Structure 1
Amino acid sequence: MLKLYTNISFLTDANRSKVFPLLFDLHYVKSEQLCDFYELTDTISDCDIVVLPIDYGSFFKNQKAFQRLLTEAQKYKKPIWLYTAGDFGFTVHIPNSYNFRLGGFHSKLSDNTFVMPSFINDPFETALKTSFSVLRKTEQPRIGFVGHAKTGIIKYMKSYLSHFKLRFKYIVKSTYFDKQSFYPSGIKRAQYLNTLKRSENLQTNFILRNNYRAGAKDQKAKARTTTEFYNNIFDNLYTFCIRGVGNFSVRFYETLAVGRIPILLNTDCRLPLSNLIDWNKHTVILDASSKVSLEQQILQFHEAKSNEELAEIQKNNRLLWETHLRRHSYFIKVHDIFVEQLKLEHA
């Protein structure tokens, strides 16, 4: 059991979308799955960890509360957990702190950075009208994709304008995130998909959208496009995954949840719980800088696996999502990591 201390005055309805995800489950949801692992305490001297209540950028603006909590944590020599929200996340240099974020570049992240999965609902409960089952191996690998992917000068200019606006926010410090180079994700995605589509050795089942979620606005259209999206993952052994605006892929976790095999283009990604999970056993990780083409990297993986081995990977991927990547499952694993760490510190 880990005891957490925070400034509960920030856990308000107005701040729900900004709250540290674990605190959200403990305070608002009162998760039964987590009650055996965490509890909130109102005594900082009695806690194991101090948690910043809302995302760093928002909490930092409340300088008095921010400095008071940090001073108390340092006084009692407590580790600090903080959450940097958004697609980019933010590198924070606070001693004895641990940063939880969705993405970032592995080569630039500290050992005290915890990458969180994208927390999604179970697709078998929300979108797919079937239960989990495995697909058999086909002679050629079947690769699916449904999503926003578009090329062209207009698309490029729109992407660059969005990047310019973010750069301006970065310069004036109106929000907090790590600076990133221009990466037109929709264009890059289309280019890689078109390369794979031209291969005679791959079966591709790609549905390329001109807009996010095919421009769906009302709930009926959103439900339809969500079902199409998950059916495509379910019907294909592999799904191509590449980063979006931030350096992570939500589709990667959605593919694991369906029990299929992600093909992840590595853009210096850090994957969650990599000290616990051998990700090479669950996904095809592509290296775009390799002399071996992306097509050959996929074929090498597929051809080296038997039908039984591919079936086992599918089962293990679904299980991995349930035991490590669901919201409560992830924080249970984090609990175990820190309990062991605290034992070592006090040994």
Structure 2
Amino acid sequence: MLKLYTDSQYITPANRRIVFPLLFDLCYTNNLKLLEKYQMVSHINDCDIVVVPVDVTHFIESNKKEWLYAFIDTALGLQKKVWVYTAGDFGYSINKSVFTFRMSGFNSQLNARTFILPSFISDPYTLVQKEFRPIVKTLLPKVGFVGHASPSASKWIKEALLYLFHNYKRVTKQRYTDYQPFYPSSIKRYQFLSLLQKSDQIGTHFIFRNQYRAGVKTEIDKNKTTLAFFENIKANPYTFCLRGAGNYSVRFYETLAMGRIPFVVDTDFRLPLEGIVNWKKHCIIVSGKNVRDALIEFHQKISHEDFEEMQTNNRNLWLNHLNREAYFTTIYSVFKEKV
């Protein structure tokens, strides 16, 4: 069992949305399986790991940076490992010898103590109400996509303005995130998808949305578009995935959860549990220069048996490593060896 210490004054109802994700399971929902592996202790001297209770930017934006750094330095001075969480699409790096958990970032800029969090989604099969079954290999690769993709100049302008506004907030210290270059994701998606559509060697099943979630307003419409999204993933062995505002794709994890094969463009991302998961066995990662040819070549080379097995393995990967409970069970195994 790993013993964790945090400052419990921050474990409040108001902080549920920004709390370190594992603490949500241990302190708010009392996940019994995780409580078998992690124990909260009331004194820092008794712990294996010190956990900063909420998103680190909360302290900085609330003028509590000195408290944050003192808390971390005290733990490091006691030779404790320290876990911190940085939320949001971009994340924020602090210059301390801590283990950072975040959704995204650029692999070339992240240190070895940075752990990528999956998008913690509910099992899609509870929505589509069908059991997982692998798709049989056909002559041509079938790739699906439902989502925000647009070629319009107005969309590019809108994304550019949002990018400039965010960076104004960042430069003026109203918002604390790492810098990232401009990447008009909806435009890029449309360009890559159009390239795939033009090939007579690829079967494409795309639904383009001009807005995120098709701009739906009502709960009924939201449920309809969500169901259409997952039905598209279920119907196609491959799903095209590309980063959004942050350098990660929620669709990537939704595809794995459905037991399908993510076809993802490499944007210098880091995936969860690298060194534990051999990602080359679970997805197709391509550069932006060979999207069409890479998919065709992969599909031609993979056997019928391996094609179906890959889908089954992807479903099992999500069940055993990437949903919320499974992820922190795996993290437990990683850090149990370190203490």
State the TM-score, normalizing by the size of structure 2.
Answer: 0.97
Residue number in structure 2 paired with 1:177 = 177
- SS of the residue corresponding to residue 16 of structure 2 reads helix
Matched, 1:146 2:146: yes
Shift of 1:304: 0.9
- Cα offset, 1:317, TM superposition: 0.2
Contact 2:5 2:43 (C-alpha < 8 Å) held by counterparts: yes
Q: How does 1:111-130 map to 2 (within 5 A)?
A: 111-125=112-126, 127-130=127-130
1:183 Cα deviation after fit: 0.5
TM-superposition CA deviations, 1:253-295 (whole Å, max 9, x none): 0000000000010111100001101101010111124xxx321
The answer on whether the counterparts of 2:3 and 2:40 sit within 8 Å (CA) in structure 1 is: yes
The one-letter amino acid of 2:324's match is: R
Q: Any gaps of 5 or more consecutive residues in structure 2?
A: none
Matched AA of 2:194: N
Q: Distance in 2 between matches of 1:71 and 1:98?
A: 13
State the AA in 2 paired with 1:252. F
Q: Is residue 82 of structure 1 aligned with residue 79 of structure 2? A: no
SS for the counterpart of 1:53 is coil
Once the 2 structures are TM-superposed, how far is the Cα of residue 71 of structure 1 from its aligned partner? 3.6
Q: 1:308 corresponds to which residue? A: 305
The aligned runs of 1:103-114 (5 Å cut-off) are: 103-114=104-115
Cα offset, 1:67, TM superposition: 3.9
Q: What is the rounded CA distance, in whole Å, between the counterparts of 1:108 and 1:64 in structure 2?
A: 25
Rounded to whole Å, the distance in 2 between the matches of 1:322 and 1:254 is: 12
SS across alignment from 1:14: helix
Partner residue, 2:336: 339
CA drift at 1:64: 5.3
Further displaced range: 215-224 or 228-237:
215-224
Q: How far apart, CA to CA, are the structure 1 residues paired with 2:133 and 2:77?
A: 53
* Inter-partner Cα distance in structure 2 for 1:26 and 1:182: 38
| Paired amino acid for 1:169 | K
Deviation at 1:72, TM superposition (A): 2.5
Q: Which residue does the alignment assign to 1:29?
A: 29
Residue type at the aligned position of 1:221: D
Q: Work out whether residues 52 and 59 of structure 1, in 8 Å CA contact, stay in contact via their aligned partners in 2.
A: no
Measured after TM superposition, the shift of residue 26 of structure 1 is 0.5
User: Does the 8 A contact of 1:103 with 1:247 survive in 2?
Assistant: yes
Pair 1:322 & 2:323 matched: no
CA separation in 2, counterparts of 1:159 and 1:321? Answer: 32
Q: Give deviations 1:143-190, integer Å, cap 9, x for gaps.
A: 000000011211111000000011111101112111011111111111
SS in 1 for 2:269: coil
- Aligned-pair identity in percent equals 45
Amino acid aligned to 2:207: I
CA contact (8 A) 1:144 1:205 kept: yes
- Give 1:199 deviation, angstroms: 0.7
User: Take 2:225 and 2:310, find their aligned partners in 1: how far apart are those partners?
Assistant: 27
Q: Distance in 1 between matches of 2:175 and 2:327?
A: 27
- Supply the AA of the counterpart residue of 1:111: A
Q: Distance in 2 between matches of 1:182 and 1:138?
A: 38
Equivalent pairs counted in the alignment come to: 337
* Separation of aligned partners in 2, 1:332 and 1:163: 36
Tell me the CA shift for residue 132 of structure 1: 0.5
Q: Are 1:94 and 2:91 counterparts?
A: no
* Distance (whole Å) between structure 2 residues aligned to residue 86 and residue 67 of structure 1: 21
1:249-268 superposed matches below 5 A: 249-268=249-268
Q: Which runs of 5+ in 1 are unaligned?
A: 343-347
SS at match of 1:33: helix
Q: Are positions 1:246 and 2:246 aligned together?
A: yes
The aligned residue for residue 294 of structure 2 is 297
Could you say what secondary structure the match of 2:17 adopts? helix
Output the aligned Cα RMSD: 1.0
Question: Paired residue for 1:51?
Answer: 51
